[in-house]
Amino acid sequence: MTLYKRGSIYWAYVTIDGVRHYRTTGTGNRKIAESIGRKFEEELVSRAAGLTELRPEMTFAELSARFLADGDVKPYHIDRLKVLLPFWGDIQLRSITKSTIRAYRLERLKHKKLTETTLSHDLAVVRHLLFWALDEGLIAFNPLTRLRLARSRKRRRPLLSWTEEQSLLAQAAPHLNPIILAAVDTGLRRGELLHQQWEDVDLSRGLLSVSHSKTAQGEQREVPLTDRLRCILAVCQQPSGLVFTFKNHSINQIKTAWKAALRRSGIRPLRFHDLRHTFNTRLLELGVIADVRKALMGHSLGDDPHALYSHVELPTKRKAIETLNRWIWEQMETTQSGENNNGETTNEPSVHTDGNDS
């Protein structure tokens, strides 16, 4: 077994019966890489000696079922498998080749126009499951090891302007209205908002502790409340239960209400996730440093558990939100002044917590 370093990561290379095998160790620590490399070598030797039971006749659907039961499953795996299984489900693992990839591309493009990035996301999941099958000793090699995938390109995300925000709040369904306001003033994800519990909202301190998050760091974070969000929550405060509901029932999705609000307000198409991006950008333009913004938004720490933003203290977060709070009041005063100059009646956008629109 030989180790080679590519960038900052070691790769293990093992030659068995004249065939060279290789695998990333996923680490830059040589001792750990050596341990992983030895285990890799032992697995290859066991396979060469026929000590593991290969299952190349297994279908992709069977492999998916085993992976969902025993693998390290992420939400995007489940999401992508819904798209993949209609095509891949009945194909045996030994039959998967580069030509299968070409057939899949043609099949997907027949029904819908897709970008190469979307197709690459699909194929990355297929390749991941095959690597898992390889690690489990179900196949002798991964036929998609050298598959080249299109790299994702960063796109400029639209931001919600103050004027668009007011129009959206004015036209949103009553149960969606406070969710929009909370998203743009806290940066919480949609799932975090819909799972937020009253037990984790401290209005006396003006503080929200995230009840449920997609990241471990997210569930540890506290987010100070802006004045307007604090006032809205105070009106409908409950001792327990979900913060945001529809007719006192939990909300599973807001897609219909969101699209209706966009249509009625007449603003350009936006994703709900763009509200989170708007929160981040507003703080950026107000001079809040990246580490504080990441701490507020619960970004994943990745491979760096000692990142600065994991130690951002609450007073620093409060200072950042107070900066945002002052900006909001300035926008409100500017809007009010403009309406008065035009002889219009001044009304702040109303925010409700329940309603009849779905």
149 within some domain:
no
Assess whether 313 and 253 both reside in one domain: yes
Cα 238 from Cα 234, distance rounded (Å): 9
Assess whether 267 and 307 both reside in one domain: yes
354 within some domain:
no
Per the CB < 8 A criterion, the answer to whether 182 and 192 are in contact is no
351 within some domain:
no
Block residue for tokens 């507020």: 296
Residue 26 gets which letter from DSSP? S
- pLDDT at position 353 is 44
- pLDDT at position 217 is 61
Q: What secondary structure does DSSP assign to 88-120, as a single string?
A: HTT-BGGG--HHHHHHHHHHHHHHS---HHHHH
Assess whether 312 and 184 both reside in one domain: yes
Give 175-219 pLDDT, tens digit per residue.
999 999 999 999 999 999 999 999 999 999 999 999 988 776 667
Assess whether 243 and 185 both reside in one domain: yes
| Nearest in space to 254 (alpha carbons), one of 234, 282, 273 | 273
- pLDDT at position 33 is 86
Per the CB < 8 A criterion, the answer to whether 93 and 139 are in contact is yes
Alpha helices in 215-254 (DSSP H): 227-235
140 within some domain:
no
Facing residues of 224 across strands?
207
Assess whether 30 and 70 both reside in one domain: no
Assess whether 206 and 76 both reside in one domain: no
Per the CB < 8 A criterion, the answer to whether 211 and 200 are in contact is yes
| Nearest in space to 277 (alpha carbons), one of 152, 150, 154 | 154
151 within some domain:
no
CA torsion, ordered 90, 95, 98, 103, to nearest 10 deg: -40
Assess whether 97 and 195 both reside in one domain: no
Token pair for 51: 């000590």
31 within some domain:
yes
Q: What are phi and psi of 61, to 5 degrees?
A: -65, -40
- pLDDT at position 352 is 41
Give 289-304 pLDDT, tens digit per residue.
999 999 999 876 554 4
- Sequence-distant contacts of 106-110: CB under 8 A, at least 24 apart: 108/83
CATH of the domain at 178: 1.10.443.10
18 within some domain:
yes
Assess whether 29 and 100 both reside in one domain: no
- Other CB atoms within a 10 A radius of the CB of residue 208 amount to 24
54 within some domain:
no
- pLDDT at position 143 is 83
State how many domains the chain has.
3
- pLDDT at position 50 is 57
Domain housing 183: 162-341
Assess whether 217 and 72 both reside in one domain: no
- pLDDT at position 118 is 84
* pLDDT averaged per 10 residues in sequence order, the chain, 358 residues: 88 85 85 84 70 77 91 87 92 89 88 82 91 87 78 74 96 96 96 95 95 75 95 94 94 94 94 95 95 88 48 89 96 84 49 41
Assess whether 327 and 300 both reside in one domain: yes
Block residue for tokens 């219909």: 256
Assess whether 166 and 265 both reside in one domain: yes
Assess whether 202 and 272 both reside in one domain: yes
**Strand, coil or helix: what is 124?**
helix
Q: What are phi and psi of 317, to 5 degrees?
A: -65, -45
